[in-house]
Structure 1
Amino acid sequence: MAQNQGGGGGGFFSSIASSFSSFKNQVCLDHIFSLLGYEGLEVINPEGGTDDAEVEAQRGRWKGEERDSYWRSMQKYVGADITSMVTLPVLIFEPMTMLQKMAELMEYSHLLELADECEDPHMRLVYTACWFISVYYALQRTWKPFNPILGETYEMVNHCGITFIAEQVSHHPPISAAHAENEHFVYDITSKVKTKFLGNNIDVYPLGRTRLKLKKDGVILELVPPPTKVNNLIFGRTWIDSPGEMVLTNLTTGDKVVLYFQPCGWFGAGRYEVDGYVYNSNEEPKILMTGKWNESMSYQPCDLEGEPLPKTELKEVWRVAESPADDKFQYTHFAHKINSFTTAPKKLLPSDSRLRPDRYALEMGDLSKAGSEKSILEEKQRAEKRVRESKGQEFVPKWFDQTNQVAPTPWGDLEIYEYNGKYTEHRASADSSGTAEEANINTTEFNPWQFGNVAESS
């Protein structure tokens, strides 16, 4: 069984996963790539072993000449943080921005209703932990979302009474902030990532602060997610793994959940598996949790040794909803809703991600136009920065305020932004107005600029 200390990993599958994870780094093609000038690149097939790594290397969405060209341009960045250093081709993008992707966590918000109404403090953690795990099904998509423009926003309504607002509050370093609320919960996040480019793979470290308040009892929970590894960026089929610990702490009571995301081993051993425990404030296990982040999660009461209690059974608490078949970008039904105007409020802000011309062109399948529109937006962003600096002014977010807080995370310090409440006032005013203005991608110009929508030629 798993270790019975709150800081430990382990669980049902840890002994199996540990025996396989050591093989992962052995699937290296030095003997092949040394002949091609690609020394040190690692291709990992999650469904196989070393014998088929050479075949796996030739798969993926890149054409041969594009793959070679991309590697030549990227090899100088090996070992570096490439969060905002590299301009990437739209070939690898999905028609969604990072702000929209942040909103995908809201899909299974009914779990927070159950948590808010739950009297058992440990079951409350089961529901909230499953809610946080649920977004990993969306995060496994291998397409890259667009980086938000400074000042870009995303609004969402018409889902479980939730009002969601996200804003890109910093460009260097890239930082996004979001706030969501309904009658059961308040959710706030400051999101920043740190990366390490490893040639054919990239490690992603989430330097975010995520806090959730359940309104009925006023408890506040804080999340520390595991890091993520994106495998086979250039050679082979891209796939994503998130090995490590997720820790969800009830800051009010001291109870917590520690869940271990198993690393993917040889022939897919351990892939997707999650297991761990809910602990009380004395770090005694109370409930075991197990499942797969791409399928479902279940729970069962346990004793102080972490063993299931007699006469109890494993009960499912969350399961992934059915997704569209053969969707080009592996979108869920909810992801399509996020991209549509059905979840947009009246008087949508012109800075909203839905209105981005590059995102929309990609959604329509026009890669050439998407690429040119993306370049235009990036140049406008640089031009606006020059205007701002020439005036001696600083960018100030509209819906979030930068605080004096610097929060430590396992991977570095994070500047904290807090929701300032102004969007609530704006939305109340817009909703009470007599006009029902609907945004239209063809008539509403994308405009996040605070210092002039500078033309590309400026």
Structure 2
Amino acid sequence: MVESGSEAAKAAAAAAATAVLTAPLSLEGGLAAELRPANLVQRVLSLFRNVRPGSDLSHFQLPATFNLPKSQLQLYGEGVYCVGEDYLSRCAKGKDAVERFTAVVAWSISTTRPPIFGFAPYNPVLGETHHVSSGSLHILLEQVSHRPPVSALHATDDSGDVELVWCQNPIPKFHGTSVEATVKGKRHVRLLKFNENYEIDCPNLLIRLLPAPSVEWSGTVRIVCKQSGLEAEVCYYRSHTFLGLGGDPRCVKGKIFSSRSRETICEIDGHWDRTVSSKDARSGKVSVLYDARTAISDLKTPVVRNQEGLSPSESAVFWGEVSDAILKKDWERSRQAKRRVEDTARRLDKERNDKGEVWIPKHFSLSQDKHGNWECWPLEKSVPPAPIIVPS
């Protein structure tokens, strides 16, 4: 049966009415502060009471009271389209390979956002999408696998200078007094007019339950450009005070060097939530590489521009009722709405299995190598303008 124009318009209006877009994570962290209960630490500890150390938490079902009102797809996207200063376009404007590489390192740091202890986004369901435009940059994400959870991203700009492609597979594991989410997969930044491709790792997310609750980014991010022969290592770590207690969890330190000679070109040092500096190894000149105050503070919330263009698979629509209930602290409605979403996803998965059908992503092709690493390729050359935009 084909919908009439009026029926399609009504369906689009209904979808837009249920689309809920919430403030991005930024230095202020206002959204989490509004949701945070007084006894959060005790409630978090109670979640893991019956979980064995070493357990994979990829499909651990959180109660809605512990959810941020947004999907993990939206968090991935926000790292690209919600930014105060455009670090991405700088990458294609560098006058030489070193300047462009340094700009890519700064952009990579800009995608790091303050995590929030005690809250997690929704686990995306298979086929869920998120499509947003910010200025001339258009971003499309799709959940291309559910077991294991794999998310794919494609972004292009109208000028044709920059393309982003990545495929990410988070693997959270419980270690008794902490949870560590290792994020597998490579981010690719392609500067098309220079024929340069930059491969970028992701830091891991470390949630400490004891002795003091905290959540922080950790690990070493490698950035490699084979065309220019340049490489970087950026370590996210916690500084330590006397006896290894306390310290600052938001430190970064690293270097940019030649892949061939291993000669250091510049040293990187600072805090990803404040400023990061770059020191020229030859001249000793120090400059600001990244400033979080201009990049990830006072960020704007996306809005729906084209109601008719919203897909039913759009994250903001798919989880709209759940997010609305969470924002209103209507916990019973949020619990029921979340269960409906998850039950529907399980039912569709069972129906496909019963029929022997293999689910195929709509926007990406997908493969897995013998080591369990995932790769994806966009089916379209460019991403079209989105029905959701970031206000200028």
Q: Aligned residue for 1:93?
A: 67
For residues 9-42 of structure 1, give each alpha carbon's deviation from its aligned partner in whole angstroms, at most 9, with x where no partner exists: xxxxxxxxxxxxxxxxxxxxxxxxxxxxxxxxxx
Identity percentage over the alignment? Answer: 20
* Residue 252 of structure 1 pairs with residue 222 of structure 2: no
Would you say the 8 A contact 1:257–1:279 is kept in 2? Answer: yes
Say if 2:190 and 2:198, in contact at 8 Å, map to a contact too.
Answer: yes
- Give the paired residue count: 343
Match of 1:420 in 2: 379
Aligned with residue 225 of structure 1, among 202, 208, 214: 202
Q: Distance in 2 between matches of 1:190 and 1:143?
A: 23
- Of 167, 191, 194 in structure 2, the residue corresponding to residue 214 of structure 1 is 191
- Determine whether 1:193 maps to 2:173: no
Supply the RMSD in Å over aligned alpha carbons: 2.8
Q: Does structure 1 retain, via aligned residues, the 8 Å contact 2:270–2:276?
A: yes
SS at match of 1:268: coil
Secondary structure in structure 1 of the residue aligned to 2:359:
coil
Q: CA deviation at 1:155?
A: 0.6
Output one character per residue of 1:378-433: Cα deviation in whole Å (capped at 9) or x when no partner. Answer: 11111111211222211111111123x5286xxxx312121111884xx47xx8xx
User: 1:211 Cα shift?
Assistant: 0.8
The residue aligned with 1:279 is 257
- For the structure 1 residues 103 and 71, does the alpha-carbon distance in structure 2 shift closer, same or farther, using more than 3 Å as the test? closer
Higher RCO (C-alpha 8 Å, min separation 6): 2
Instruction: Confirm or deny: 8 A CA contact 1:110 1:160 kept in the other structure.
Output: no
For 1:209, the aligned partner's letter is K
* TM-score w.r.t. length of structure 2: 0.79
The CA deviation at 1:345 is: 7.5
Find the residue that maps to 1:83 and give its secondary structure: coil
Which amino acid in 2 is paired with 1:89?
A: P
Cα 1:263–1:70 shift into 2, 3 Å = same
1:87 aligned counterpart, secondary structure: coil
C-alpha deviation, 1:264, in angstroms = 4.3
Change (3 A) 1:261 1:60: farther
> Residues 97-176 of structure 1 correspond to what in structure 2 (within 5 A)?
97-106=71-80, 107-108=82-83, 110-139=86-115, 143-157=119-133, 159-176=134-151
**8 Å CA contact 1:191, 1:207 repeated in 2:** yes
Deviation of 1:115 after TM superposition, in Å, equals 1.7
Question: In 1, are the aligned partners of 2:219 and 2:237 still within 8 Å (CA)?
Answer: yes
Correspondent of 2:312 among 350, 371, 376: 350
* Aligned mates of 2:56, 2:221 — CA distance in 1: 23
Give unmatched runs, 5+ long, in structure 2.
Answer: 1-36
Measured after TM superposition, the shift of residue 129 of structure 1 is: 1.0
Q: Secondary structure at the match of 2:293?
A: coil
User: 1-side partners of 2:173 and 2:388: how far apart?
Assistant: 42
Q: Which amino acid aligns with 1:128?
A: V
- Residue in 2 aligned with 1:299? 278
Question: Aligned residue for 1:318?
Answer: 290
**Cα shift at 1:72:** 3.3
Residue 242 of structure 1: SS of its match in structure 2? strand
In structure 1, what is the equivalent of residue 304 of structure 2?
341
Instruction: Specify the code of the residue in structure 1 equivalent to 2:151.
Output: S
Q: Secondary structure at the match of 2:348?
A: helix
1:390 match? 354
CA distance in 2, matches of 1:62, 1:221: 40
2: distance between equivalents of 1:187 and 1:354? 22
Following the alignment from structure 2 to structure 1, what is the Cα–Cα distance between the partners of residues 117 and 48? 22
CA radius of gyration, larger in: 1
After the TM superposition, which segments of 4 or more aligned residues of structure 1 sit over 6 Å from their partners?
Answer: none
Distance 1:280 1:196 in 2: 35
**Does structure 2 conserve the Cα–Cα contact (< 8 Å) formed by 1:78 and 1:199?**
yes
CA distance in 2, matches of 1:143, 1:135: 19
- The residue matched to 1:136 in structure 2 has which SS? coil
Equivalent pair of 1:60/1:237 in contact (CA under 8 Å): no
TM-score (norm 1): 0.68
User: For residues 292 and 151 of structure 1, do their structure 2 counterparts lie closer, same or farther at Cα, with a shift above 3 Å needed?
Assistant: same
Task: Rate the CA distance shift 1:68–1:272 in 2: closer, same or farther, 3 A.
Answer: closer
- Distance in 2, matches of 1:252 and 1:225, equals 21
Map 1:371-386; keep pairs closer than 5 Å: 371-386=335-350
CA displacement 1:195-216 (0-9 Å, x = unmatched):
2201231111111121110123
